[in-house]
Amino acid sequence: MQAMSTAVKAHGMNGTLVDADWPPLALDEVRNLLCTFPDCGEPIEILSVSPRPFSAASVVATRGGRVFIKRHPRSVRDAEGLREEHRFMAHLRAHGAPVPLVYANTSGETAIVCGEWSYEVHEAPAGVDIYEDALSWTPFRSVDHARSAGAALARLHLASEGFDEPMRKPRPLVASFSIFVEDDPGAAMARYLAARSALRDDAETQRACDEVIELLTPFHHELKPQLKALMPLWTHNDFHASNLLWSDASDAARACAIIDFGLADRTNAVYDLAQAIERNIIGWLALSRGSEDTQDVPVHFDHLSALLDGYESLRPLSEQEAAALAPMTALCHAEFALSEADYFMGVLGSREKARMATMDYLVGHARWFHGASGKRLLNTVRTWSEGRRKQGMAQ
């Protein structure tokens, strides 16, 4: 997290810092909130302001120690939406995953609604935030970080087993998996848009969705034979280096805490692993910073190998899961890109940002997987999967 300054900035869509959409937390505001949280103590100082763009968040020093507070517009997260995330986090903690505690107030409530805002208060877990300024699509600093992250994701998936709540209802900024899990993704896309009024009647969004269905259909065909083997599982869906805290600041540091469960939903383990590849292994920011050649997007193959090795050290994939990983990597970005467009159009009222989500992210990423670099990445994953299958047959 960035230290407080006179001008509050947030991560922009092109990788630069821009003016924040939401006002930062104020000390009086925090004091009024924490007076009902007996485990936290009186706030003393706001230590940092998060550059994440979709909410206002800060680490706050209190007389009881440091806490992490997030404030959301109710149109993005109401109390019900936050409780979904908190129940998942509580289940993960109870089953050994390194996830922060969410504090409850004197009424036993973890999601606090006040006027147009919803609040949540987390413990500030031990660990070093060495990727504090990193966006999604920023690579790991080392192979060791990638391997440790893979193991942390596997540990989360093992802990998630038995959490059987249904998928979340349609809301902004959730990375669901409801389109390409169906036999007819075009019809599923139509249902997805129909449930989101900001997108439903927008002609440009519809054209982008028509194009992306055409672009991603070959990967859906590749995935379909494996779909029945992908067991439903609640997953993180935003697993990148800056959502991890680390044992120290070295290149050999271990991931010791997992944070930010705002995109979590009931998907499957392969979907979440593909999201981790998409967010950490592919340098998409080269596109948003004006590169005209899509082949300029870097792919960190050494980190990919380490991430997979770390994951399988704790949770080896089945043959069907491994075969599903390549096509899932091409498909997994679609629904979050649409969810971002829904947020930008429906909450912020910004057609310009919504167009970046639909054209640069949704369509642009899908096109990239048809180019030389995208094919190389997917073929690398396919080769890895086939190698595992042959090794298993030989044993």
Whether residue 113 sits in one domain with residue 154:
no
Contact 41, 35 (CB under 8 A): no
Shortest CA distance to 269 belongs to which of 316, 310, 225?
316
Containing structural domain, residue 70: 9-123
Centre a 10 Å sphere on the Cβ of residue 369 and count the other Cβ atoms it contains.
Answer: 22
Whether residue 150 sits in one domain with residue 295:
yes
Whether residue 234 sits in one domain with residue 152:
yes
Residue 269 pLDDT more than 70? yes
Tens-digit pLDDT profile for residues 141-167? 999 999 999 999 999 999 999 999 999
pLDDT, position 4: 40
**At 329, is the secondary structure helix, strand, or coil?**
helix
Whether residue 94 sits in one domain with residue 159:
no
pLDDT, position 116: 95
Mean pLDDT of 229-235: 98
pTM of the shown model: 0.94
Whether residue 91 sits in one domain with residue 182:
no
Contact 50, 17 (CB under 8 A): no
Whether residue 333 sits in one domain with residue 243:
yes
What's 90's domain CATH number?
3.30.200.20
Contact 342, 172 (CB under 8 A): yes
Whether residue 152 sits in one domain with residue 51:
no
Residue 328 pLDDT more than 90? yes
- Burial level of 365, CB count in 10 A (0-12/13-18/19+)? buried
pLDDT mean across residues, the chain:
92
User: What letter would DSSP give residue 221?
Assistant: H
In a domain, 27, yes or no: yes
What's 337's domain CATH number?
3.90.1200.10
Tens-digit pLDDT profile for residues 43-100? 999 999 988 889 999 999 999 999 999 999 999 999 999 999 999 999 999 999 999 9
Mean pLDDT of 355-367: 95
In a domain, 138, yes or no: no
Boundary residue ending a domain (93, 123, 153):
123
pLDDT, position 219: 98
Boundary residue ending a domain (123, 157, 176):
123
pLDDT bracket for residue 377 (50, 70, 90)? very high
pLDDT, position 202: 94
Q: Give the range among 62-66, 132-136, 141-145, 359-363 with minimum mean pLDDT.
A: 132-136
Whether residue 158 sits in one domain with residue 79:
no
> Integer distance in angstroms from the first to the last C-alpha of the chain?
48
**In sequence order, what DSSP letters do the residues of 232-293 get, joined into one string?**
EEEE-S---GGGEEESSSSTTPPEEEE---TT-EEEEHHHHHHHHHHHHTB-THHHHTT-S-
Cα–Cα–Cα angle for 361, 364, 368, rounded to 5 degrees:
125
Whether residue 156 sits in one domain with residue 238:
yes
Residue at token pair 């507070």 = 69
pLDDT, position 11: 63
Give me the number of domains the chain comprises: 2
Shortest CA distance to 385 belongs to which of 299, 300, 320, 312?
320
- 121 Cβ contact list (under 8 Å, min separation 6): 33, 34, 37, 40, 67, 68, 69, 102, 103, 110, 112
How far, in Å, CA of 395 to CA of 386, rounded?
Answer: 14
Residue 289 pLDDT more than 70? no
